Each structure stands twice: as C-alpha cells, then as structure tokens.
C-alpha cells in the first residue's frame, strides 16, 4: 500500500526538442486517459506518460505521436484596459509593457519573449512588424481601448501608435552595443552596471539604454525558467534601491505570462495547489510540503528578502483571476473544495482587508457563492458575504474587505447586501478600537488603521465617509495631536440595562411586527426567538435576513424618518425589547456628540441602502 501511495504519473507534451509537464496523477489510468485526450486535441506532436517511484528516475510507460492540425495563425488577446502612451518614454514604462505583453501574449509565448525584449531589440521589432496583420491588430486594439479611456477618436490614437512603433524600431537599431554592460551584469550585478551606464550614457537616453541592456541580459536564454533564474541571480547580488525597481518589474513581467507560469510552476495537482504556491510566493512565506523546486525556493527566498511590490501584485492578480473562475479548486469533490477554500482565504488576510484589494475581494466572493453552497443553488450575494466574514479574524479585516468589494463590479451590482454588512459592523462601534480583538497590541491597531485609511482613501463608500474616517485615523495616529485619543484596547462591555421608556412585547409565529411602507416610530431588539426581514409580497417576496437573540432591527426608519423599507415577521415566538422613537433619537443625539463619524456613517449608509432597495 505504501508503494502505491508514493507512485506519481506525469503527463508531458513535447515538440521533439523539449517536454512540458501537463498534469500529475496518482493512478496510471487517469494519466493515460489524459494523454489520449491531449492526442485527440490535435495540438501536440508528442505526448508521454512517465512513472516515478519513491523519488527515483522516471520511466516512460506511454508515448505516442499526435496528428497535429494545421497550425492556426497567431492572434491578439483581448484586453479591457491599456496604459496611455504619448511618446517613446511612455511606451517603455512597465504598465505600457504589461499592455503590450497581454495583447501580444500568444505571439510572445510562441517566441519565448518578454515585452521588454520585444520593445528593445531591433530584430524582434522588425519580425513583429513583418507579421503585418498581427501587428495591425495589436495597434488597433490598444488604440481603441486608449481612445475609450481618453474619450477621443480612435484614428488619432492609431496614427500615434504607428509613429511610436517606428520610433521604437529606430531607437533599438541605434541603441549601441550592450555587450560590455551585460558582462558587468553577469559578473557584478545590476548596481555596478547602472553605475557604468551612468558614466557612459547621457541622461536623455539612459533609461532606454538600461532597458536594452536588461533585455539583452535575459535574452541570453530562450526558456522561461532560465530567464527567471537570470533575474534571481541579480536579485541575489545585493542590488541597491534603484536596481531593485528594475528587477522587480522584470521579475513581474516574466510571471505575467500564462505559458511562463506554467513552465515555472510545473504541473500543480489542482487549482488549489497552484493558488497555494502563488500566495506563499507573493507573501514571502514559501514552505513546500514535499520536495522543493530549486527555482521556486529561490523565488520564495527572494520575495522574503526583498520588498517587490510589482511582482507581488502580478502574482496576486493571477490568484484573483483563478479564484474568480468556475473551475473546481480540487479534483476530488465539492466537500473538499468547501474545506480548502477557508484555508486559502486565510492566506490572503492583511491587517485590514485582503491582499489583492478590490479584485481579490470580488474573486473570493464569487468563489464563495459556488463552494460554500449546500445543495444545487449558488449562495445569494448576502449569504456569500456572511460566510466570508465568518472566516475573517476580526472586524478590521471585515470592514476592509467590504470597502474593497463595494468598489468592484460585483459591488456595483449587489450594493445593498454589502452596505448592509458594513452597517452591521459599524452600528455597534463606540470607538475604533472595537475593530480589533481585546488583546491586540498598539502596533496591530496602528497597522490596521493605516491599512483601512489606505482603502478608504480610494473613496470606497464615497468622499463623505472617506473624509470622515481618514480624519479620524489621522487623529488616532498623530501623537502630537492633543485632542487625539490614545490608541487603546476597549474594555469589555457590561450588559446594558433595559432602556428607560422601553418595553417588552411578545409575538406569536407568523405575526407581522411591521410592514413595508408603514411609518416607523419604534425600533426593536430580539430577546428570544427569530424574526424574518423581507421585501415584496407573494411570488416576488424576498427574504433579506433572519435575525435572532441580541440582534436589532427597525432602526433605519428612525434614523432618517422615512417609511419602513421591509417587513418584519416573527417565525418563532419572539420576545422583543421595544425602543420608542423618542428614546432612540436621544441615543442618536448622544452618539452624534460622542462620535460624529459613526453617526454620519449610519445616516449615509441608511440613505444608500434605501436608494439601492428602490432599484
């Protein structure tokens, strides 16, 4: 039994000169089945299956030539965003190279080139322009996206990009010999090479020439793994800050390609395994369970040693794209996917939100709707959000996640449950220290506030809330502000006594406590039982939430003096504490004096919830 568990079957595809791992399997039948499927696709010249036992030498158990179909012409890849270029200096920035790399992804993968190599080598640019149709398609696609962003006519952008292509080709031809500087790179590293280039090249063309030298350096090898290895060599030679910026961009550019990542990562067992590896690399915590790939081990050590924000961002982008897909996380079962998902989610936790920001928050929410369901139907947006919040370690992470989610395309479509979730967190806050657990250190608190301030600074919920919260955070973090409260941990709250003027009321199952459209003059807290909150009636009735002991409802109408926006129905015998409007208004007035930010946040969120509830 032990021997069988240690046998691995690898399926590889090749063209006669090199082999690439397609997948790994524990059973020979699964491996050969995948091999036959690859042969049937007509896209591979050779397919083989190898068996490796106890880490020994692999032996070939299946190999067959495929009948390849006629080679299809290479086409551009679709893009929805593009860097704006006005001159050659703009064209060679990292963001512009990323745009070039993505629209020409299939061509660059075929040639084993980065966009840096393409744009800084006369021969590569000449070959691309000879393709004519592909070159024209790329120009027109990028120009159309830029024109949409700038709200201007596409023909003008097309003409500009053609002129820039000519300029780039001429500049690459006239760049001069890079050989001496590549030699310095190989022997001494990028810091020394930058010093030499600074002495030999004028400031007007220096940045372009640096790119030419780096392009020639990684062009010493045609394969993706050795290319990345060359960049790691430079990162291991103690680069200074200026050199680190170039190397961070170059490493990110290599990892931005699907084919390069496939070659570098090998063949992970499933999507969850690939996500796990990429997240470990992005966070500098690479710790493989089994044998470590030497190249990935170097990447992990480098990410831990250096702050490489561009590379980290590219890795997290890839994680977000894979996370938002509908492909199963594992090859086993829905139950396994459901168990794996929270573990992956916890790896993304930042001080106040998720690593990867808006895109990641949307991706994990879409994935949660699929993997956290019980039964055939996907979870509702509100239920998916609730499941994610239950996994997150504290309120700070939850608020940051919700702020980012609100700014996503998902957030635009499902704003109501997101705003409702934010309101549920914000309402009970007396101080900002309520965002963290009781034993959090001042350093943890400062990190969370700084992270939240960054996320709110991007107008997560609009300028009014962002300005209020940012001001509050500034006061907390500024030790020279005499009016600023000290960073402290909130003391455990004592149970509150029944509010003077309030009373208890009991409802039988099925009793309607209030109806949508009724005037609101009371709020309620559940002492026991269950209450269902819903909108609409008959077949159009939608249940928004089911509330239990200790939860509050009916307060929105009291905050803004508007009619009820939902119906509350007792689903079990429910005892509730009734808070009259007069008492509630007194509490709001006190809250406004004690913490104006929380009071205004509540008013703004109630207004927005009503607006979205009406759409």
C-alpha span between 380 and 364 (Å, rounded):
14
Euclidean distance between the first and the last CA atom of the chain, given in angstroms as a whole number: 61
- What is the distance, to the nearest Å, from the Cα of residue 578 to the centroid of all Cα atoms in its chain? 43
Residue 577 pLDDT: 84
Looking at the domain assignment, is residue 18 inside a domain? yes
Collapsing DSSP to helix, strand or coil, 203 comes out as helix
Record the tokens describing residue 408, joined without a space. 């996503």
C-alpha span between 102 and 256 (Å, rounded):
8
Helices (H) and strands (E) in the chain, counts: 29, 14
Asked which of 40, 65, 90 is the last residue of a domain, the reply is 65
C-alpha span between 9 and 615 (Å, rounded):
54
Helix crossing, 395-406 with 381-391: angle to 10°?
150
Looking at the domain assignment, is residue 585 inside a domain? yes
Q: Which domain holds residue 7?
A: 2-65
C-alpha span between 400 and 436 (Å, rounded):
12
Query: Rounded to 10 degrees, what is the CA torsion of 466, 471, 474, 478?
Result: 180
Classify residue 574 by burial, with Cβ atoms within 10 Å: 0-12, 13-18, 19+.
Answer: buried
Query: Rounded to 10 degrees, what is the CA torsion of 282, 284, 288, 291?
Result: 100
Strand order in the sheet with 531-535: 512-514, 567-570, 531-535, 542-547
Tokens 């022997």 map to which residue? Answer: 187
Looking at the domain assignment, is residue 528 inside a domain? yes
C-alpha span between 151 and 145 (Å, rounded):
10
C-alpha span between 34 and 41 (Å, rounded):
11
- CA-closest candidate to residue 522, choices 580, 564, 565, 566: 580
Residue 463 pLDDT: 47
CATH for 580: 2.60.120.10
Looking at the domain assignment, is residue 553 inside a domain? yes
Largest Cα–Cα separation, the chain: 87
- The mean pLDDT values, 10 residues at a time, for the chain of 615 residues are 61 78 80 81 82 79 73 83 92 94 93 94 92 92 93 91 94 92 95 95 92 95 92 94 95 92 82 90 84 88 93 94 91 90 94 93 95 88 94 91 91 86 75 76 82 66 50 49 39 38 80 87 86 80 80 74 84 87 64 51 56 52
Q: What's the total number of domains in the chain?
A: 2
Q: Are 118 and 100 in contact (CB under 8 A)?
A: yes
C-alpha span between 255 and 114 (Å, rounded):
10
Residue 237 pLDDT: 93
C-alpha span between 266 and 21 (Å, rounded):
6
Looking at the domain assignment, is residue 26 inside a domain? yes
Helix crossing, 357-371 with 381-391: angle to 10°?
110
Contacts of 455 (CB under 8 A, 6+ apart): 352, 353, 357, 400, 403, 404
Looking at the domain assignment, is residue 34 inside a domain? yes
- CA-closest candidate to residue 91, choices 208, 194, 210: 208
DSSP string, 451-514: HHHHHHTTTTT-HHHHHHHHHHHHHHH-TT-TTSPPP-PPPPPPPPPPPTT-EEEEE-TT-EEE
C-alpha span between 562 and 606 (Å, rounded):
10
Asked which of 65, 92, 113 is the last residue of a domain, the reply is 65
Tokens 């509730």 map to which residue? Answer: 576
Collapsing DSSP to helix, strand or coil, 288 comes out as coil
Looking at the domain assignment, is residue 296 inside a domain? no
Asked which of 65, 84, 106 is the last residue of a domain, the reply is 65
Q: Extract long-range pairs of 236-244: CB within 8 Å, 24+ residues apart.
A: 236/298, 236/302, 237/188, 237/189, 237/190, 237/191, 238/189, 238/191, 239/189, 239/190, 239/191, 240/191, 242/191, 242/194, 243/189, 243/190, 243/191, 243/194, 244/306, 244/308
Record the tokens describing residue 385, joined without a space. 């959000």
Query: How many degrees, rounded to 5, is the angle at CA 290 between CA 287 and CA 291?
Result: 95
- CA-closest candidate to residue 331, choices 13, 49, 2, 24: 24
Neighbours of 493 (CB within 10 A): 9
Record the tokens describing residue 521, joined without a space. 């003059």
Record the tokens describing residue 542, joined without a space. 């939608």
Classify residue 4 by burial, with Cβ atoms within 10 Å: 0-12, 13-18, 19+.
Answer: exposed
Looking at the domain assignment, is residue 392 inside a domain? no
């Amino acid at each position: 039994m032990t021997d069988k568990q240690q046998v691995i079957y690898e399926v590889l595809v090749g063209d006669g000169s090199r082999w690439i791992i397609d997948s790994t399997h524990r059973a020979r039948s699964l491996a050969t089945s995948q091999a036959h499927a690859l042969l049937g696709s007509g896209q591979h010249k050779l397919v083989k299956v190898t068996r490796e036992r106890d880490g020994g030498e692999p032996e070939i158990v299946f190999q067959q030539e495929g009948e390849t179909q006629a080679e299809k012409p290479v086409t551009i890849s679709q893009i929805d965003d593009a860097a704006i270029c006005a001159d050659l200096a703009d064209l060679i920035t990292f963001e512009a190279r990323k745009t070039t790399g993505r629209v020409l992804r299939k061509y660059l993968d075929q040639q084993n080139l980065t966009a840096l190599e393409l744009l800084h080598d006369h021969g590569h640019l000449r070959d691309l322009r000879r393709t004519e149709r592909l070159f024209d398609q790329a120009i027109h696609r990028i120009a159309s996206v830029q024109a949409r962003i700038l709200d201007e006519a596409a023909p003008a952008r097309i003409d500009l990009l053609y002129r820039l292509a000519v300029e780039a080709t001429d500049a690459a031809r006239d760049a001069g010999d890079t050989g001496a500087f590549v030699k310095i790179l190989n022997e001494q590293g990028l810091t020394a090479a930058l010093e030499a280039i600074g002495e030999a090249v004028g400031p007007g063309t220096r940045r372009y020439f640096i790119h030419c030298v780096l392009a020639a350096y990684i062009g010493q090898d045609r394969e993706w793994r050795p290319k990345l290895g060359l960049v790691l060599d430079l990162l291991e030679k103690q680069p200074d800050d200026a050199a680190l910026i170039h190397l961070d961009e170059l490493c990110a550019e290599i990892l931005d390609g699907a084919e390069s990542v496939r070659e570098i990562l090998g063949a992970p067992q499933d999507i969850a395994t690939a996500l796990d590896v990429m997240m470990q690399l992005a966070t500098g915590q690479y710790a493989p369970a089994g044998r470590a790939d030497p190249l990935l081990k170097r990447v992990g050590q480098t990410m831990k040693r250096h702050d490489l924000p561009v590379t980290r961002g590219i890795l997290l982008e890839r994680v977000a794209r894979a996370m938002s897909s509908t492909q199963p996380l594992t090859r086993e079962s829905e139950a396994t996917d459901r168990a794996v998902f929270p573990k992956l989610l916890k790896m993304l936790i930042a001080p106040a939100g998720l690593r990867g920001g808006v895109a990641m928050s949307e991706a994990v929410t879409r994935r949660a709707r699929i993997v956290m369901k019980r039964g055939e139907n996907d979870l509702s947006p509100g239920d998916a959000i609730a499941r994610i919040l239950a996994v997150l370690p504290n309120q700070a992470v939850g608020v940051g996640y919700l702020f980012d989610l609100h700014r996503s395309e998902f957030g635009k479509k499902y704003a109501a449950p997101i705003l409702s979730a934010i309101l549920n967190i914000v309402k009970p806050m007396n101080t900002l220290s309520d965002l963290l657990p009781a034993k959090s250190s001042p350093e943890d608190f400062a990190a969370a506030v700084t992270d939240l301030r960054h996320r709110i600074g991007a107008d997560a919920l609009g300028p009014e809330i962002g300005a209020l919260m940012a001001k509050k955070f500034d006061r907390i973090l500024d030790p020279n502000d005499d009016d600023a409260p000290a960073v402290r941990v909130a003391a455990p709250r004592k149970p509150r006594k029944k509010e003077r003027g309030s009373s208890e009321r009991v409802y039988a199952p099925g009793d309607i406590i209030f109806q949508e459209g009724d005037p609101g003059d009371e709020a309620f807290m559940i002492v026991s039982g269950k209450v269902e909150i819903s909108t609409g009636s008959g077949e159009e009735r939608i249940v928004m939430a089911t509330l239990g002991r200790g939860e509050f409802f009916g307060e929105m109408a009291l905050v803004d003096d508007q009619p009820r926006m939902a119906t509350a129905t007792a689903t079990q015998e429910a005892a509730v504490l009734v808070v009259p409007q007069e008492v509630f208004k007194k509490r709001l007035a006190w809250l406004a004096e004690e913490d104006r930010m929380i009071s205004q946040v509540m008013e703004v969120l109630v207004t927005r919830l009503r607006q979205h509830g009406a759409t």
